[in-house]
């Protein structure tokens, strides 16, 4: 940074370089804007460094290890399978390094200036960026806030060497013999599953009546069956009360069914939600309008009540999803450039990388009915698909929700192997106004898991080929 604080001018200042911020910066640069991006910690944000990417790498390692031990019915008998967890962590870190390095090169390749430090708003066109030594003022025409979120810390479970956030759980030096997970949402269930696959004895404590809120019960039932098979204990309506730490582990106290219980473990992972990083930017003094939980109010172009300032990602209303942040980043950058872009969340997918995977897009059956639609709900099972049988991955189904009057696809849910990849076709179908007849008439390659969507469409039409009506 420059010593001697002479203001530096830029067209668009982006605060945060996660999947929302770096995408916004690149798109803004592509429209001809002079762009500066400010990052206080690491390029790529939570997602690339301590979230989506490293967790999926660890999940992949867990799958490989579990399959190596449990493929007898396919004729593969492996004896004394072991894991070198230090090498597994090296693999995970290598994936992160490759992607974050790639993002930095993309920013530089698009002539985006990268500045390290913390940003604090002085007024609606000025920020100060500070590091440990210096302070530098930046004047901007427009700013995009993309500061993301951080894990919620429970007062009785302060983060430590043994009480972990998701970040800490991804950076362990050894596979825990026993792990307690507080919170049965997507983060807790994904990481709990990963460590169960790696050999940990896992207990999930969830405060509500079921895990994986937001996904239909018929989908989560299949995940729970697989968790049970892995030896994972799921305790619902459980209230975590406290933790006692020792040099070698923890004892977690919780209440369930009116009784106080204790469980010992090597570590406890706390995944009870994330809070927006909006509290150290000077936004209140700026007069920026904010709603509940520290979320920033924005319009359909991601513009705040201050016309020169935009906000995207986890700090605005809606699901905390990396792909939502990236999408909003493009909209904000294009809006600044004078284009007519605005957000439309008709077909935003949500995915959970459990065993098997969960994916949903558009409206669920209940949501569609609540919105006044008369619907047809059609399912086709993985067990009747040749590719799924060949993969020995027959648990799951594709469910399509369509408007009864004309077959317009309103929503889709998938539980099964490859659900995270399969959901894209159905998202595109909803986005482009496809009917179940269109989907059924689209020739799908055989044998593939993608055929299950086609077969579900045929069920919706009342003409299924590979199951009896």
Provide the whole-model pTM. Answer: 0.96
Rg (CA), the chain: 24
What are the distances in angstroms from CA 454 to CA 222, 374, 401, 466? 22, 22, 13, 11
Residues with catalytic annotation?
A: 446
Residue environment code for 15-36, b if the CB has 16+ CB neighbours within 10 A, otherwise e: bbbbbbbbbbbbbbbeeebbbb
In angstroms, the CA 154 to CA 157 distance is 5
Pick the closest to residue 215 from 191, 237, 189 (CA basis): 189
The response to whether 402 counts as a known ligand-binding position is: no
379 burial via Cβ count (<10 Å: 0-12, 13-18, 19+)? middle
Cβ(125)–Cβ(308) below 8 Å: yes
Write down the CATH number for the domain with range 163-272.
Answer: 3.50.50.60
The response to whether 253 counts as a known ligand-binding position is: no
In angstroms, the CA 196 to CA 15 distance is 37
Pick the CATH number of 8-151+275-336 from 2.60.40.1180, 3.30.70.1520, 3.50.50.60, 3.40.50.300: 3.50.50.60
Per-residue pLDDT of the chain (469 residues), as tens digits, is 445 579 999 999 999 999 999 999 999 999 999 999 999 999 999 999 999 999 999 999 999 999 999 999 999 999 889 999 999 999 999 999 999 999 999 999 999 999 999 999 999 999 999 998 899 999 999 999 999 999 999 999 999 999 999 999 999 999 999 999 999 999 999 999 999 999 999 999 999 999 999 999 999 999 999 999 999 999 999 999 999 999 999 999 999 999 999 999 999 999 999 999 999 999 999 999 998 889 999 999 999 999 999 999 999 999 999 999 999 999 999 999 999 999 999 999 999 999 999 999 999 999 999 999 999 999 999 999 999 999 999 999 999 999 999 999 999 999 999 999 999 999 999 999 999 999 999 999 999 999 999 999 999 999 999 999 8
The response to whether 188 counts as a known ligand-binding position is: yes
Token pair listed for 409: 């696809």
User: What does pLDDT average to over the chain?
Assistant: 97
253 burial via Cβ count (<10 Å: 0-12, 13-18, 19+)? middle
- Look at strands 178-182 and 250-256 and give their pairing: unpaired
Tell me whether domains 8-151+275-336 and 356-461 share a fold.
no
The response to whether 386 counts as a known ligand-binding position is: no
The response to whether 411 counts as a known ligand-binding position is: no
Cβ(182)–Cβ(269) below 8 Å: yes
Long-range Cβ contact pairs of 282-287 (< 8 A, separation 24 or more) = 282/120, 282/121, 282/122, 283/121, 285/121, 286/121, 286/123, 286/124
Cβ(167)–Cβ(42) below 8 Å: no
Cβ(416)–Cβ(226) below 8 Å: no
Token pair listed for 284: 């209140």
Domain assignments of the chain as residue spans, ordered by start: 8-151+275-336, 163-272, 356-461
The response to whether 147 counts as a known ligand-binding position is: yes
The response to whether 357 counts as a known ligand-binding position is: no
Superfamily per CATH, domain 356-461: FAD/NAD-linked reductase, C-terminal dimerisation domain (3.30.390.30)
The response to whether 185 counts as a known ligand-binding position is: yes
- Cβ-Cβ contacts under 8 Å for 458 (sequence gap 6 or more): 380, 440, 464, 465
The response to whether 246 counts as a known ligand-binding position is: no
Q: Helix 85-109 and helix 52-69: axis angle, to 10°?
A: 150
- What pLDDT is recorded for position 1? 45
In angstroms, the CA 217 to CA 204 distance is 17
The response to whether 201 counts as a known ligand-binding position is: no
Distance of CA 116 to the CA centre of its chain: 26
């Amino acid at each position: 940074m420059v010593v001697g604080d002479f203001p530096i001018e830029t067209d668009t200042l982006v605060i945060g370089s996660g999947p929302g911020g770096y995408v916004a910066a690149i798109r803004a640069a592509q429209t001809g804007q002079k762009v500066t991006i400010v990052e206080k910690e690491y390029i790529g944000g939570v997602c690339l460094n301590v979230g989506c990417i490293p967790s999926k790498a660890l999940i992949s390692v867990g799958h490989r290890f579990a399959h190596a031990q449990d493929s007898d019915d396919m004729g593969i008998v492996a004896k004394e399978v072991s894991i070198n967890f230090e090498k597994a962590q090296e693999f995970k870190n290598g994936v992160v390094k490759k992607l974050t390095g790639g993002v930095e090169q993309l920013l530089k390749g698009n002539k985006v200036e990268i500045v390290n430090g913390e940003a604090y708003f002085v007024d609606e066109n000025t920020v100060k960026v500070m590091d440990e030594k210096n302070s530098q003022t930046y004047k901007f025409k427009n700013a995009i806030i993309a500061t993301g979120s951080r894990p919620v810390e429970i007062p009785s479970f302060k983060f430590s060497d043994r009480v972990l956030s998701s970040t800490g759980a991804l950076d362990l030096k050894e596979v825990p013999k026993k792990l307690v997970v507080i919170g049965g949402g997507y983060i807790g269930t994904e990481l709990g599953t990963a460590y169960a696959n790696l050999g940990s004895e896992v207990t999930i404590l969830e405060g509500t009546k079921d895990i994986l809120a937001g996904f239909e019960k018929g989908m989560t039932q299949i995940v729970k069956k697989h968790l049970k098979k892995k030896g994972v204990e799921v305790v619902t309506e459980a209230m975590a009360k406290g933790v006692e730490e020792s040099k070698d582990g923890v004892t977690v106290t919780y209440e369930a069914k009116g009784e106080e219980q204790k469980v010992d473990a090597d570590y406890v992972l706390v995944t009870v939600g994330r809070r927006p990083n909006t509290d150290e930017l000077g936004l209140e003094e700026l007069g920026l309008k904010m709603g509940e939980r520290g979320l920033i109010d924005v319009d359909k172009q991601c513009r705040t009540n201050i016309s020169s300032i935009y906000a995207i990602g986890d700090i605005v209303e809606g699901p905390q999803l990396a792909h939502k942040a990236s999408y909003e980043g493009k909209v904000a950058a294009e809006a600044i450039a004078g284009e007519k872009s605005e957000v439309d969340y008709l077909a935003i997918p949500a995915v959970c990388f459990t065993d098997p995977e969960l994916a949903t897009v558009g409206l669920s059956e209940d949501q569609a009915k609540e919105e006044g639609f008369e619907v047809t709900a059609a399912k086709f099972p993985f067990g009747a698909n040749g590719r799924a049988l060949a993969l020995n991955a027959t648990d799951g189904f594709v469910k399509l929700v369509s408007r009864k009057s004309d077959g317009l696809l309103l929503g889709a849910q998938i539980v099964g192997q490859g659900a995270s990849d399969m959901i894209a076709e159905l998202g595109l179908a909803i986005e482009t106004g496809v009917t179940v007849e269109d989907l059924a008439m689209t020739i799908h390659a055989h044998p593939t898991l993608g055929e299950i969507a086609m077969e579900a469409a045929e069920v919706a039409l009342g003409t299924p080929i590979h199951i009896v009506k």
